[in-house]
Amino acid sequence: METLMEDVEYSWKEVSLPSLIEPELDRETGERRRGRDIIIAVDHGPNSKHAFDWAVTHLCRLADTLHLVHAVSSFSNQIVYESTQGLMEKLALEAFEVAMVKTKARIVEGDAGKAICKEAERLKPAAVVMGTRGRSFIQSVLQGSVSEYCFHNCKTAPVIIVPGKEAGEESVL
């Protein structure tokens, strides 16, 4: 897979998340580390939720900011847009309750892999976290995958690919 070197703008919309009471965090003192930006690529599948749970449980710390990113093929599909907005609101609330982290959400239009890499270039996060679809090695080689694309093309941050959970296994949270 070769790296695409295109400078194409992409469409995006900020998601208005419910206002949560954030703890007073002093992000700049020498006593505590400065908060990090962490991108979590989300969709409506169980492996995405599993990756989100893993990141909130094992990676996030107080003062971090989670950036939830979801790619849609078109903003014109209002049903998909509204269900994605609802998903992001639910995840933001869960991230606050579990790890007391601030969350921002963005729905981007276009190819998922390219959009996630563009967001990584824009934010320069500490990490990009994503799940897998659970395809076999042969299927992902033949058809490609978003996680594989991001692994090879996100140059500004490490990409953490959380393996999918086995059928029937409980989520980490």
pTM of the model: 0.77
pLDDT of residue 171: 47
* 103 within domain boundaries: yes
Spatial strand order in the sheet of 11-15: 11-15, 102-109, 65-72, 37-41, 127-131, 159-162
pLDDT of residue 98: 93
Q: At 51, which CATH number? A: 3.40.50.620
pLDDT of residue 134: 63
* 2 within domain boundaries: no
Task: Give the residue, 73 or 94, on which the prediction is more confident.
Answer: 94
Task: Give the residue, 115 or 164, on which the prediction is more confident.
Answer: 115
- In which element (H, E) is residue 70 found? strand 65-72
Task: Tell me the mean pLDDT in the region 39-59.
Answer: 94
Domain range enclosing 38? 34-162
Q: Which of 87, 96, 99 is nearest to 20 (CA)?
A: 96
Q: What is the pLDDT of residues 111-161, one digit of tens each?
A: 999 999 999 999 999 999 999 876 555 555 545 688 889 999 999 999 999
Count structural domains, the chain: 1
Report the sign of the C-alpha dihedral through residues 88, 92, 97, 98, in that order: positive
